[in-house]
A and B are shown apart, each in its own frame.
Chain A
């Protein structure tokens, strides 16, 4: 599989993690694409942390509403049944455990479920926005990212080296190479992207991966 096909596999694979009616917050970038890849018959309620539930598709050209933007600042729509609220209510929804899952990108993630996604000291310090609250508050934290950094640097590590977004909150890591679950024993490679082997995924991963059939039950 080429890179593009593997990225499509990643997005579709994340989209299988939800059940009907789940309240989900999608981060910017790869996570945003998950909304368009849901399995037939599954509907989820998307939350936008700037203050509404029921995020719909981007508006048609000419129908943009400057009061309806997503958390990335792009024009958006609110579906029938959706509702808007202030930032305190929005983060009560997030921190209070009312969001079933959040899907976010990452700079680094490690075998303890630690996540680094918000700053590279001396280089990129844009701010954490709502990410720290989302990772702490959402019932499930799913990381959706390319398995390796652009310079082929490893991102799935034994221990994050960048400043953390949150400690021990990640549940699942879905990359273009496979699906890894954070377990008390480390990262279990639950699924491997089509065409790859366990060894190929391990070679791109600093953390020691556990093969499901090698786990003592």
Chain B
């Protein structure tokens, strides 16, 4: 059994109008080749959930530049000026969320929770329209789970059953998003045989991952 699949086939599973979540932090740890393929296949009307929209010119920014996204949920638009432009003209609907809240909303979706209670955003415009709870004298906002149809991830290493290992700051949102989408596709630098990753070194259990795409590899073993 292998989860290794070709780039084109992997991305063909994303349909117009779907919600996708994408790992990465200002480009670091973002699945660049998966994103380039989303643009190439001209998938449209996507709702994008990501920390930011990258640096103008990188693969993440191209999702915005090429109008693949109609709605964005992010913590920061990054240094991608095109996101700001589309936001001000109304071409792109943007919802900004505190980073620690967004990651816990995603984690709670993956963990089967009904939401999270956070002190972040109390007394700011973030609290508008949200339920507030007072517990032991402290105020919290109820933030609801966030999940997606597809998660696009980046990892340093995978074995053929999808166990993932990340490197340095490229980990960021990737392991959390791996738990919160119906279909999870990971772009990886290295693919090793089953058993070659020590169980203690696995950062994302392979059961969360549906497909592995080898970065920069054109030759593929097809899952069929």
Contacts and interface: CB of A to CB of B under 8 A. Distances in A.
Interface of A: 48-52, 65-73, 76, 78, 84-88, 90-91, 94-95, 114, 125-133, 136-137, 163-168
Most chain A CB within a 10 A radius of its CB, from B87, B125, B171, B174: B171
Given A91-B99, A127-B75, A51 B122 contact: no
9 contacts: A51-B25, A52-B169, A66-B170, A70-B169, A73-B27, A88-B175, A127-B75, A127-B96, A129-B99
A133 B101 contact: yes
A126 B203 CA distance: 31
B169 to A, nearest CB: 5
Most chain A CB within a 10 A radius of its CB, from B25, B156, B174: B25
Given A71-B25, A73-B26, A73-B28, 11 more contacts: A66-B28, A67-B28, A73-B27, A84-B167, A91-B99, A125-B84, A126-B84, A127-B75, A128-B99, A164-B124, A166-B122
Nearest to B96: A127
B172 to A, nearest CB: 5
Interface string B54-82: 01000000000000000000111111000
Interface stretch (B41-49, B113-121, B208-216): B113-121
Interface of B: 25-29, 51-52, 55, 74-79, 84, 87, 96, 98-101, 103-104, 107, 118-126, 156, 166-176, 203
A76 B168 CA distance: 11
A48 to B, nearest CB: 7
A48 B99 contact: no
B168 A163 contact: no
Contacts of B77: 125-127
A167 B167 contact: no
A94 B169 contact: no
B27 A86 contact: no
Contacts of B125: 163-164
Specify the main secondary structure of chain A where it touches its partner. Answer: loop
A76 B170 CA distance: 13
Closest 3 interchain pairs by CB? A167-B123, A91-B100, A133-B100
A52 B166 CA distance: 13
Contact of A87 (B123, B124, B172): B172
A66 B55 CA distance: 14
Contacts of B124: 132, 163-167
B220 to A, nearest CB: 24
A130 B123 contact: no
A76 B180 CA distance: 30
B171 A85 contact: yes
B101 A67 contact: no
B123 A50 contact: no
A65 B29 CA distance: 12
Contacts of B119: 95, 136-137
